[in-house]
Structure 1
Amino acid sequence: MDLNLFWAKKSRGIDGSAKWLSLCQHLLDTKFVIGMLYNHYLSEHQRQIIENAIDGDDAKKIVEFVGITHDLGKATPAFQMKKSYQGLQDLDENIVEKLFMHGLVPDDYMDLLSSSNRSPHALAGESLLKKFGVNNDVGSIIGGHHGKPIEYEDDCNDINDFSENYYYEINSKNNIHIKWADLQKEIFDWAMDEVGYDDVEDIPGIKSITAQVIIEGLLIMADWIASNDNYFPLFDEDQDTCDYEARMHEGWLKWFGNDSWNPEYNHDSNKYYQENFGFSPREFQDRIFKAIDKSQNLGIMIVEAGMGMGKTEVALSSVEQLSQKSKCNGMFYCLPTQATTNAMFYRVYNWLTKVSARNGDEMDIQLVHGKASLNDKFADLPHNADIGESRDEGVMVNQWFTGNKTAILDSFVVGTIDQLLLLALRKKHLALRHLGFSGKVVVIDESHGFDSYMQTYLCRALQWLGKYHIPVVILSATLPAQKRAEFINSYLDKHTKESKIYNDLAYPLVSYSDGDEVKLIDDFVPVKKSTEIEVKPFMGDENDLLNKTKNLLSDGGICGIVVNTVKRAQVLSRKFIEAFGEENVEVFHASFLDTDRSKKEKRLLSEIGKGKNENRPKLKIVIGTQVLEQSLDIDFDVMFTDLAPIDLILQRVGRLHRHADNNDKRPNKLKNPQLYVLSMNSDYEYESGASFVYGDFLLMRTQYFLPSKINLPNSISNLVQKVYDFSIPIQVDAEINEKYVSAQEDYEVKINSKKVAASTYTLKNYSDMQDSLIGWLNNDSKESNGNKHSYGDEGLAQVRDGEDTIEVIMVKRGSESGYCLLGDSNNDISGLIADGNYKKIKELAQNTIKLPRIFSKVYNIEHTIDLLEEFNRQNLSNWQLQPFLKGSLGIILDSNNQFKLDDYTLTYDSNIGLMIE
């Protein structure tokens, strides 16, 4: 029988004509693509995982077999009788008429089988393969190629429960039933022959789950590429064959960007650092470089070192070393926030440019977070779809990889930690994410900043990375030993209680696994340049703080004030602006327009950043929240901070007397670094915002162990371990101890509840997997949280703890019906937006801000979004027609910079931020 009888795809062409593609042609396309991906996209590391899982056979053959059989389930009445979505009635009728002419449907056939949706073609394909004798380890890959493997092996009984979907006629002796069965077997035999198998028993098993997941991800990727008619065009209605060689050659070249990266680096650490970073390595960096070179099978490496010691350079050099050793072909570098990720993107780009020039390779790079498209550096990179064969820059963006689910598949990716945590979230198309991570060295920066909820996902992700034998580099300045041990144990998938992992207080400290052995580098030459900081409790109120600051800054100076909540920062900023003048006070927190926050960040870096002492102002007060401790390389002469957990205080104090180049410019009163800690008192009662954010337990332990002097970096590890080693008691009177015990109980309940909440959707423990992907994603998390609104990045909220937030684009009323950007009230942009002006639309899209959390509580988030959507329908409806704006919500401030929302008034001040009454 004609194997081109069945269809795989139907669509309407640009000219309106009907297009189709035969099933066998699509299967051949996918076989070719997956084979090419195996050769040219997979890293040698990934190919080795697959080869090790195949018993004495050509691994590529089983991969191509999966490609050529993936849509076998379309050779069923349930699929072939489907009508096209675009109403191609003539084409639908022609296809059914051919089936009728070949005796595959009866004279009185129904247009559509009533139960056809019970046999989706991925499940049908797996069921047919099982019938033909293919084992679950291969069949489950076919069943999951649309994102989710079947939940239970019994699901393959679908072929018996709904046999009319497979054979049209239930009676196995019926001629139509027999013809369907024969044709399905004929396609299966044809597929085996195309790959090179003589019999089903020749199809080897795939022994490891990791290999199955990689092949599953590769199949999804190949199917998506082969299904893109820009690469592999559909046929005209009367066409059923093509020039196969030309089709494959042209289709692949249209998609393919660059061959896999094969790193070659200078094994002389001094030359490597000079070539790539422009300086010689410190002893700390040199020792790590040489340890990696000597390692046999380095798995996970945790680098604990002080701020400014060059951990980023350690990570980037390690990527190149470990990629060569492990035969990986890329990197994923992740950080906690979009701001820190954006800052790191520039550094990675500069390093990658030098690597590209040195190796003569063209490198693809991706920035992955919710606003990556608005990052100027990323947006300005050439895109290979735009520049054809003329490639002037060595680093570019491959456009195919810029989608939400494909960006992680590119070679070099800088993104937020969410992208890594999603590796452990049961969600459709998870195999694609595993495919992306299983060939890259992974760097996790600022790893101290994850709560127990995120830690649960991170540890499960590390377990799977360990099973893939992917090198992982973890960086932190302030890492509790318990977390250090959790990271190592998760990666090695064991629960060692080796005291050296928990108790080593050396600093810097490098812990790494070489095979199953955990090694330490804890004998670095002591840091010569240390900073001793005087720690002074400050008991006064806001007025006392103001007076103290006036006294300290009587001869000028740069003062940092870090508090725990936005509201507290705003209250203080009003007082300080009134006392010192708007020009001398900078406020920095999360409740600013993204554009204003970016301007503030650049201004701070230009005035008090590294190497900027010629611009350093005589007087400056910076009032901010935790965002000051995360990414800004700035230098204060004196600092006040709200009490916070010790690791965060140390991060904050890392900005105090940070740059020695400024020492000669510091006023005499501030020549010695001084840290004033607010909210500390003898009865251990704390400011409500601090208690809410951090809980009293860690605050009490921090206050108890906080010394009168901190030596940076030498005190860091000792202080962090004391506070976070809960077996070390605090000695307080009975009344305080009662409060302490209660706070500890609250803390433990909160930690456990976070772990339980996270585990609801966490990927299975590797050891709980059977011999196939069946059930891999059971109890799959929903695509949205159940709300009727689909607002924000679906899925990301599930790997971060906390309430939902609502982000809006903020503009100001410029005329009766128009609007303008804040700070540019003379230029009405509403007409340009309506006309689709790309530049202005992109500029507008950057003016986002998160609304106060009072609007996004569980009990009122739906109501808030209803109000905003109604406002947008009436005032900003054309936004939904524009790129970068579709799905966005906007608010328009009045002439007083105010907006009424429900029973509240929002007021925006470019100096103080968004306020609510």
Structure 2
Amino acid sequence: MTPPLEPPHSPSAAVQVLWAKSGQKSEGEGWLPVLHHLLDVGACAAAILEREPASTRDLLASDLGVPDTDLAVRWTCALAALHDLGKASPAFQHKAEVLAARVWQVLPWQNHTENTPHGLVTQKLLLPLLEARGWDSGVARRAAQAIGCHHGQRETTPRAPDRGAGSEWHAVQDELVTLVLTAFGLHDAPAPPATTLTGGAFMHLAGLTSFADWVGSSFPLDGEPTPLPFTDPAAYLSQATARARAALDRIGWTVREPLAPNPAPIDETFDFIPHFNARPLQTLLADLLNTPDARPALILVEAPMGEGKTEAALYAHLQLQNAAGHRGLYIALPTQATGNAMYGRLRTFLGHQAARRPGQIPVTVDLQLLHGGSALNDTYQNDLARTRSAQQQTLPLTPNTAGDTADTVRAGEWFSHRKRALLSEYGVGTVDQALLGVLNVNHQFVRLWGLGNRVVVLDEVHAYDTYTTQLIHALVRWMHALNSSVIIMSATLPAQTRQDLLNAWNVMPDPAPAYPRLTVARTGDPAPTSRHIPGPRRTQTVTLRATDPDPAALATQAVTLAEAGGTVTVIVNTVQRAQDIFKAIREQLGPRFQSMCKGSKHPEKIGVHLYHARYPADDRAEREERVLRYLGKQPATYLRNGALHTTDVRPERFILIATQVAEQSLDFDTDVMITDLAPIDLLLQRAGRLHRHEGNTGRRGGHETPTLYVAGLHDWPEDALSEHHWKYVYAPALMYRTWYAIQNRAHLTLPDDLDSLVQRVYDPSTPILECLDEQQQATLRKADHHLKQQRLNQTSLGGQAHIGQPDTFIDSSPQPSLGEPDGEPAHDDTNTATDDLAAETPHFGTRLGDESLRIVPIHRNGADFLDPRGQTAAQITTLLKNDWEAARAIYRRSLQVSRHDLIRHYRDHPTRRGTEHIGWAAHPLLRDAEPLILTANQTVVGRTRVTLDAELGLTYERIE
């Protein structure tokens, strides 16, 4: 960006004394004039945009209606620079007494009782100044609001008097605008011709302004400021732009360019995966996108497990990145557990693509893990540490050799901050982090700017309730407005959900082809292109049998099945049932019981393993690793006595008891399965773990035929829903309809039956099932009505929660900030009112759910320790704020609970956890965590006895 030369300027005395930043407010040392800061931030905006793809800059031209992209970029950067014009007001200038004294010598002092934030003052001041320069009034108002909200919140322009009244103040404010425009070569340029500023344009300007302000505010205050901006603002801007480029280098903001400028064929792209051969889904999607079309796309992938959906999405990202000029990729998943698993896969993919660029220089890419538990992910933390130690984050932008992938993927610490993470080029995490972009939280526009002009993948979309689905629809609409492409993947979508997603992309839904199917909707097309995904594919016939839901009966059946040889998995709907079944199995087996946490292939014993979410984080992670070690692909690689071992450790006789944590996050294979009745899509997810790995054929004991035992299938499930508390976990209407859909079936054929069964259960137009008796029909009718009302309520809540539609939100009144209320789960367990006796009041965030609390079990033995042997101090009030190693060790012992007794206790009796400077309360990881003080591994809270058991996890016993 090279603005034309402007004539030198004769600065007023007033403009030279207005201050924006002060290193020592009381003494007035190390200060920065307003004009310097404005130009610094404008320079940062320019440096950011010059590293963006050309498509990003072209969008700015469209935003302002300016045919010349360079001119549009200069106008945009000038607007970003003017973000702190509000500091040129008496309300701000009086904040540093010594610096203010100079101001009052040349400008009239004014006594203001109100103290309007300077961002809002900017909104008030800038509107008439832009109008006077020929800007359309509506565009000027919205642009002023976009840059004025850089401290986090869009607010209505105030009528407060803090704007600086009087001709002298007006003159210096106008002079600042003139100097900024002069620096960018715009002093005599006609105003942009736009007559409206769209929602997308608002987010472009607001997000860029905050990003640039964060970078520009990091410039050091070096003594007395230079007078250059007052006499030659363009020359100062040139110097500031050089500093901005260096600052971007330090934080790792590199040139955004295609990862694979000429993508290799699919088989070659994924040749790092052993025995990879492109699946029909992957080749079909690649063919549909293999056209010279620069428009973004919405892609719906509805296909069962094993079709290669993830690799299809990654390859589509390479194609869209080249065709549409997208800047990067974000993969959003339902839980932290699924996000952790995807982080490793994406890291490997990016490393290979960045290092192997035929005819191109290898590049280094930044990859962030975005969720609340990222501090516990060792791979990500090692990436941060490695990046941090490499010249204090100043990494070479290319690795040493083209074939070396070790340094092609980095994790810049600057981007690991929660609000900045989506600015990074590549990311993987929970869907909640993306959905915060459409909630009224602080700096939501920065998140949307980071997701704009990017490929966004939403995986396992079937996992969300109606409320979160409404937020996803809003996110899709905003991605459409921000020129992003969206890839949505699911085992299957209810027909209404598919239609709603296509409507959000402004295309008319078409008749869905046969399942599995692929849909591509290009921006601007009236209708999508939909195709059936051809075979061949692996099909499996699962024998279906009913069984008694009583925990003792299930335990007996699991033991009997295990005695026949092979691996048995029991998946139940609540933690309490899982714990009860484990205890019953342990009692029945007696001396034949073998805890798999100790590891053994003893020929006379049966290994038993319990896995759910009510363990401290490190214990849960170890239990998850054991599931994958014993039931994952063999041979398995694992740590033993500090050394890596690779061997076949699949047990000959084994029982896994688990909750929803085993439903969709883990790639494991079981020989036979017992499951509680659940909604059909989740039931089929569970069944997908049966005979999953073909390599285990011939070693399944007495279970070479895949068999699914469904607890509660033998009889109308109304009593079971109440007795076993299932009605608090899943909608009874879906449970009844699932029961009816499969209760007379002897077999399921996967994936052939998947879509038809899901549509049958979830279609709201499905009539009352006539073969039911009169009482059953009445029960179902009541349950259907309740589900319909629940969906209507959640739809309404979801519509109220998000910021609004891209074409209307600007004209709506800004709402108070929600803070940062994401509700991302660390696991796939469903919080249940009965299991945790939780309140039913939902919180307003990315998900509806019971109120929850993070606790850390603490063993009190003279002092407070993390372990019962008293080896590691808990440091509740003494933890140092910068001691991240100790904080992570404490956080690893934490878990999330939603038990009403516990939440009420800590709400009414908060623990002293230090101060804002020392202790848990001072540390970002632990400031919301409460210690659960245990004596002999237990405590009583209210009417609940809470025990931390090494095998069972956290248990609750009601005290009457």
Q: Could you tell me the TM-score, scaled by structure 1's length? A: 0.88
Residue of structure 1 in register with 2:929 after alignment: 888
Contact 1:893–1:899 (8 Å) recurs in 2: yes
How far apart, in 1, do the equivalents of 2:143 and 2:274 lie? 44
Aligned mate of 1:571, from 580, 591, 597 = 580
Q: CA deviation at 1:422?
A: 1.7
Q: CA deviation at 1:905?
A: 1.9
Q: CA deviation at 1:347?
A: 0.6
Identity across matched positions, percent: 27
Aligned mate of 1:726, from 752, 756, 764 = 764
How far apart, in 2, do the equivalents of 1:306 and 1:544 lie? 32
How far apart, in 2, do the equivalents of 1:480 and 1:811 lie? 45
- In structure 2, give the amino acid aligned to 1:541: D
Contact 1:299–1:514 (8 Å) recurs in 2: yes
1:466-615 mapped onto 2 (5 Å cutoff)? 466-492=480-506, 496=508, 498=510, 500-501=511-512, 504=513, 506-515=514-523, 516=525, 517-527=527-537, 529-539=538-548, 541-580=550-589, 581-583=593-595, 584-612=607-635, 614-615=648-649
How far apart, in 2, do the equivalents of 1:303 and 1:801 lie? 26
Q: CA deviation at 1:666?
A: 0.7
How far apart, in 2, do the equivalents of 1:693 and 1:883 lie? 32
Give 1 or 2: higher helix fraction.
Answer: 1
Residue of structure 2 in register with 1:98 after alignment: 102
Residue of structure 1 in register with 2:309 after alignment: 311
Residue of structure 1 in register with 2:32 after alignment: 21
How far apart, in 2, do the equivalents of 1:542 and 1:192 lie? 74
Q: CA deviation at 1:139?
A: 4.0
Q: CA deviation at 1:98?
A: 2.4
Aligned mate of 1:449, from 457, 463, 466 = 463
Aligned mate of 1:841, from 866, 887, 901 = 887
- In structure 1, give the amino acid aligned to 2:567: I
Q: CA deviation at 1:46?
A: 2.3
How far apart, in 1, do the equivalents of 2:954 and 2:206 lie? 47
Change (3 A) 1:390 1:798: closer
Contact 1:260–1:329 (8 Å) recurs in 2: yes
Q: CA deviation at 1:829?
A: 6.4
Contact 2:933–2:939 (8 Å) recurs in 1: yes
- In structure 1, give the amino acid aligned to 2:885: K
In the alignment, does 2:75 pair up with 1:67?
Answer: no
Instruction: After superposing the two structures, state which structure 1 stretch, 177-186 or 206-215, moved more.
Output: 206-215
Aligned mate of 1:630, from 632, 650, 664 = 664
Change (3 A) 1:828 1:196: closer
Residue of structure 2 in register with 1:692 after alignment: 728
Q: CA deviation at 1:594?
A: 1.0
Instruction: After superposing the two structures, state which structure 1 stretch, 72-81 or 739-748, moved more.
Output: 72-81
Residue of structure 2 in register with 1:741 after alignment: 781
How far apart, in 2, do the equivalents of 1:540 and 1:178 lie? 81
How far apart, in 2, do the equivalents of 1:24 and 1:873 lie? 42
Q: CA deviation at 1:687?
A: 2.8
- In structure 2, give the amino acid aligned to 1:192: L
Residue of structure 2 in register with 1:34 after alignment: 45
1:153-302 mapped onto 2 (5 Å cutoff)? 155=157, 158=159, 162=161, 165-167=163-165, 177-199=166-188, 201-205=190-194, 207-228=197-218, 232-236=219-223, 244=236, 246-256=239-249, 257=252, 258-263=254-259, 264-274=261-271, 279-294=276-291, 296=293, 297=295, 299-302=297-300
SS, match of residue 673 in structure 2: strand
Residue of structure 1 in register with 2:825 after alignment: none
Aligned mate of 1:415, from 409, 429, 439 = 429
Residue of structure 1 in register with 2:750 after alignment: 712
Residue of structure 1 in register with 2:800 after alignment: 760
Q: CA deviation at 1:267?
A: 4.3
- In structure 1, give the amino acid aligned to 2:529: K
How far apart, in 1, do the equivalents of 2:910 and 2:566 lie? 45
Q: CA deviation at 1:410?
A: 0.6
For structure 2, the residue ranges without an aligned partner over 5 or more in a row are: 1-11, 230-234, 400-406, 596-606, 637-647, 822-841
How far apart, in 2, do the equivalents of 1:390 and 1:194 lie? 32
How far apart, in 2, do the equivalents of 1:768 and 1:879 lie? 43
Instruction: After superposing the two structures, state which structure 1 stretch, 416-425 or 645-654, moved more.
Output: 416-425
In the alignment, does 2:48 pair up with 1:49?
Answer: no
Change (3 A) 1:59 1:838: closer
How far apart, in 2, do the equivalents of 1:275 and 1:576 lie? 43
Residue of structure 1 in register with 2:909 after alignment: 867
Residue of structure 1 in register with 2:818 after alignment: 782
In the alignment, does 2:854 pair up with 1:821?
Answer: no
- In structure 2, give the amino acid aligned to 1:50: L
How far apart, in 1, do the equivalents of 2:321 and 2:221 lie? 39
SS, match of residue 544 in structure 2: strand
Change (3 A) 1:342 1:797: farther
Contact 1:130–1:136 (8 Å) recurs in 2: no
- In structure 2, give the amino acid aligned to 1:611: Q
SS, match of residue 381 in structure 1: helix
Residue of structure 2 in register with 1:646 after alignment: 680
Q: CA deviation at 1:510?
A: 0.9
Cα deviation code 1:796-817 (max 9, x no counterpart): 951100121001122323x411
Change (3 A) 1:514 1:390: closer
Change (3 A) 1:656 1:722: same
1:110-129 mapped onto 2 (5 Å cutoff)? 112-117=111-116, 120-129=120-129
Q: CA deviation at 1:488?
A: 1.7
SS, match of residue 475 in structure 1: strand
Q: Could you tell me the TM-score, scaled by structure 2's length? A: 0.84
Contact 1:637–1:666 (8 Å) recurs in 2: yes
Q: CA deviation at 1:447?
A: 0.8
Cα deviation code 1:53-95 (max 9, x no counterpart): 32324211211220232222222222222x23xxxxxxx23x3
How far apart, in 2, do the equivalents of 1:136 and 1:540 lie? 64
Instruction: After superposing the two structures, state which structure 1 stretch, 436-445 or 510-519, moved more.
Output: 510-519
- In structure 1, give the amino acid aligned to 2:682: L
Q: CA deviation at 1:400?
A: 1.9
- In structure 2, give the amino acid aligned to 1:18: E
Aligned mate of 1:347, from 345, 354, 358 = 345
Q: CA deviation at 1:203?
A: 4.0
Residue of structure 1 in register with 2:404 after alignment: none
- In structure 2, give the amino acid aligned to 1:509: R
How far apart, in 2, do the equivalents of 1:832 and 1:855 lie? 24
Contact 1:869–1:889 (8 Å) recurs in 2: yes
- In structure 2, give the amino acid aligned to 1:723: V
How far apart, in 1, do the equivalents of 2:210 and 2:933 lie? 43
How far apart, in 2, do the equivalents of 1:902 and 1:559 lie? 38
Residue of structure 2 in register with 1:851 after alignment: 897
In the alignment, does 2:715 pair up with 1:682?
Answer: yes
How far apart, in 2, do the equivalents of 1:827 and 1:238 lie? 51
Cα deviation code 1:720-758 (max 9, x no counterpart): 111112323322222211111111001011111111222
Q: CA deviation at 1:845?
A: 1.6
How far apart, in 1, do the equivalents of 2:246 and 2:423 lie? 18
> What is the number of residues matched between the two proteins?
854
SS, match of residue 38 in structure 1: helix
Cα deviation code 1:504-526 (max 9, x no counterpart): 3x332111213423112205024
Residue of structure 2 in register with 1:333 after alignment: 331
Cα deviation code 1:774-832 (max 9, x no counterpart): 54x622443278xxxxxxxxx9951100121001122323x41141336x655556599
In the alignment, does 2:704 pair up with 1:671?
Answer: yes
